[in-house]
Structure 1
Amino acid sequence: MRVAFVTESFLPSVNGVTNSVLRVLEHLRRTGNEAMVIAPNHPGGLPETYAGFPIVPTASVTLPWYPDMRLSATLTAQVEKHLAEFGPDVVHLAAPVVLGSKGILAAAELGLPSVALYQTEVPQYAVQYGYAAAEPLVWHHLRKLHNMATINLAPSSYTRDQLIEQGFSRVGVWGRGVDVERFSPSKRDQALHDSWAPNGEVVIGYMGRLGSEKQVGDLAVLSNIPGTRMVIIGDGPARAEVEGQLPHAIFVGMRRGDDLPRHLASVDLFVHPGELETFGQAIQEAQACGLPTIAPRRGGPIDLVAPSHNGWLYTPGDLSMMRQYVVDLVGDGYKRAAFGHTARVRVEDRTWPKLCDELIGHYETAIELGASVGARIA
């Protein structure tokens, strides 16, 4: 199989879109398939290859209200040229918005089947960043774009239902895998934990991008819980603001490689306050580390957190409920351990190879559908 990726984000940007594309590319290499990636260029420079596959840069500019997303400045004809030269069996559109819209038009022009993955709550991000009037226009654009794809995939059941309500067609669910060897309770570093909590405090952790859409400032309601320390893993444009909101928290910055799971596994419980998560990969990685997790009852976390089994879900916006659940776990070491054990067990079969095999199944379905449509037209 030959798969062409058109992605709104790629290295050196590190986010959920980039991460999933990388894992799929690695799986395609392991399983003997071929791929290429069309991505926006980046001031830090795109790699020329990844997993042995070529990376084709295209012109782009920074999107002011969301720096992680590059605004494509390339032409549809140029994307079509790249696709035609590669000759893919299927086109994978990763979080299509701008470059992805040119990718789907190019694929349609060439008669190529496509699989479009909805991964980012761009309409809600527009509201979060002060462009509320743009929300219906963004939904209109995304609906028109996705409805040109052969198959659409949402990362969670909540997001699938949301897309169907918005008029998206042919929507299925494809979750995300987790590296259960990299993220594991065995990565816990007790000395690191004790450096944060020298008096035996319970460490409350958050890991992720520090942007306004992640609502990390909501964790301020946890600041005065007796016998706790808070550790924030990650970086982003809102870091200075969040540091002001959480003056007593320990900020360790962005961690990479083996240092990331070492830091994550060394906290005692994980809280993710963002209400715009289409999946919640950080939650899944925390669960793989054996951490009980607390998150809003909205979006991807609904599929990941089973209340009273591996964590708690609170009503979005109800920060007193969030605090209540954190106090519950802080005060009950046995429950923390039981929830953490269940969290680990529930993710052990959600490996990237398994999830990538599922995605290849979706590719095959799109190819079959494309062939069927082509036969009817002929």
Structure 2
Amino acid sequence: MRILVVSESFLPHLNGVTGSVLRVLDHFAATGDDLGVIAPRWPGATTSLPTSCGRQVPVRRIASAPMPGCGDVRIATTSASALRRRIDEFRPDVIHLASPMILGGRAAVAAQRAGVPTVAAYQTDVPGSTARYGMPFLQSATWQLLRDVHNRATVNLAPSHASRDQMLSHGIERVDLWRRGVDTSLFSPALRSESLRAAYARPEEKLVAYVGRLAPEKQVADLRIIHDMPGVRLLIVGDGPEKDRLRRLLPRAHFAGFRTGTDLAAHLASADLFIHPGELETVGQTLQEAMASGLPVIAPRRGGPVDLVAPSRTGWLFTPGMLDELRDRARDLLFDDAKRRAFGRAAEESVRRRIWPVVAEQLRGYYLQAIEQHGRIGALR
């Protein structure tokens, strides 16, 4: 199969969208598919992606500019006509639109003109984030943009039941469910390190971890309710625009910065509990990674975490905005060692089969569905 991936976000910027695209590309490179990527141009960005099987995937970089006030987000400045030429050059069987907005929207138009089926994977709750960035008046317009983009796609994919319901409620059509995978060969309780743990907490303290961007939409500041608990130490892994503010707000917390690979996995496995306070998670990828590391998890009862967390078994869900409930749920696990370990074992077991090769082959099924559906629509025209 010839697969062209158009990704709104890509290396060198690492986030959930980039991570899932890299996993999918790595799998399809190993299975012998012909691959190409169209992504925003970044300073120092490469035009070739090495994969674990030794193949190089060509990356066509598109002119882009940083979004004002949020340099991590790149806005493509190319046209649908220019993207059409790239599509014609590659001659794909299907185009994968990863978290499409501006670049993905223009690619959807170009794909329609080229007569190529598209699969659009929703992942980022951009409309919800507008309020966190002080621009709630943009929420309706952002949903209108997403609706226009996704309704051009042959097949749309939501990462969770909550996201699917949200998309359908805003008029997006043809929505199926495609969850994200987790690398259980990397994230494992076996990487727990007592020496690493000792660098962040005293023996009598419990270590609570958060992994993710330090940005308004992640609501990391809500962890102050945990920060002030006696006998508890916070470990914050990640970077972002709120880093300095959070350091002032959480002076007893340890800020470990951005971590990847085995280093990240060891940090997770060395904690006692994982909490993600953000209410806009469509997937909850770091929750899956924490669970694979043998940690019970706590998250708001909203979005992707609702699909991942089994209350009273693998962790707890709390009512969004109810920080006292979050604290009580954390206390329930932190100071009952037997319960916490049982929850951690159940959490690891729950994600053991949710591996990327299985998830990527499910995605291939949606590619084939889009190709077949596109052929039927073409025959009616």
- By the TM > 0.5 criterion, same fold? yes
Q: CA deviation at 1:87?
A: 0.3
Partner of 2:170: 166
2:238–2:258 Cα contact (<8 Å) kept = yes
Pairing partner for 1:127 from 118, 126, 131: 131
Partner SS state of residue 247, structure 2: helix
Q: 2-side partners of 1:48 and 1:252: how far apart?
A: 30
The answer to whether residue 333 in structure 2 is matched with residue 329 in structure 1 is: yes
Partner of 2:29: 29
Structure 1, unaligned runs of 5 or more: none
Partner of 2:218: 214
Q: CA deviation at 1:48?
A: 2.5
Partner of 2:149: 145
Q: 2-side partners of 1:111 and 1:65: how far apart?
A: 37
Partner SS state of residue 11, structure 2: coil
Partner SS state of residue 116, structure 1: strand
Alignment of 1:11-30 (within 5 A): 11-30=11-30
Q: CA deviation at 1:44?
A: 3.4
Q: 2-side partners of 1:47 and 1:238: how far apart?
A: 31
What is the TM-score when the length of structure 2 is the normalising length? 0.97
Partner of 2:42: 42
Query: 1:172-197, CA deviations, whole angstroms, 9 ceiling, x for partnerless residues?
Result: 11010000010000011111112222
The answer to whether residue 182 in structure 2 is matched with residue 178 in structure 1 is: yes
Partner SS state of residue 168, structure 1: coil
Partner of 2:5: 5
The answer to whether residue 286 in structure 2 is matched with residue 282 in structure 1 is: yes
The answer to whether residue 368 in structure 2 is matched with residue 364 in structure 1 is: yes
Partner of 1:354: 358
Q: CA deviation at 1:330?
A: 1.1
Q: One-letter code of the match for 2:37?
A: V
Q: CA deviation at 1:374?
A: 1.1
The answer to whether residue 247 in structure 2 is matched with residue 243 in structure 1 is: yes
What is the TM-score when the length of structure 1 is the normalising length? 0.98
Partner of 2:296: 292
Q: One-letter code of the match for 1:204?
A: V
Pairing partner for 1:197 from 187, 198, 201: 201
Q: 2-side partners of 1:3 and 1:245: how far apart?
A: 46
Q: CA deviation at 1:257?
A: 2.3
Q: One-letter code of the match for 2:20?
A: S
Residue-pair matches, total: 377
Q: 1-side partners of 2:150 and 2:294: how far apart?
A: 37
2:47–2:61 Cα contact (<8 Å) kept = no
Q: One-letter code of the match for 1:329?
A: L
**Once superposed, what is the RMSD of the aligned Cα atoms?**
0.9
Partner of 2:317: 313
Q: One-letter code of the match for 1:38?
A: I
1:114–1:366 Cα contact (<8 Å) kept = yes
Identity %, equivalent residues: 48
